[in-house]
Amino acid sequence: GVKSSQGVFKLQRVWIKMDLTTREEQELFEGFFSLSVSYHDEYKGGDLDRPQKQKFGLPFWAIRAAKDVDGKEIGLVPL
């Protein structure tokens, strides 16, 4: 199983504009997510190629959800 893990999540606004028709701010963000996972020795088993520690990293872009005239977020639906 997993012995330990740690990660980083960063998010920074890089652009903002006011929509003059709705008076709503439109925003663009850039972010980065990383995760480091260490495994117990017994998890490795017979697979000698499996590393004891794995690192993952992912840059991403994000936008703030738009809202309708009632203030309800547009485009977000429950799964």
Range of the domain at 22: 2-63
Tokens describing residue 49: 């190629």
Domain-embedded: residue 72: no
Identify the CA nearest to 70 among candidates 21, 11, 22, 12. 22
Cα–Cα distance, 65 to 6 (Å, whole number): 29
pTM: 0.65
Domain-embedded: residue 20: yes
Identify the CA nearest to 4 among candidates 46, 47, 35. 35
**Number of domains making up the chain:** 1
User: Which residue positions in the chain have pLDDT lower than 70?
Assistant: 43-50, 76, 78-79
Cα–Cα distance, 51 to 11 (Å, whole number): 29
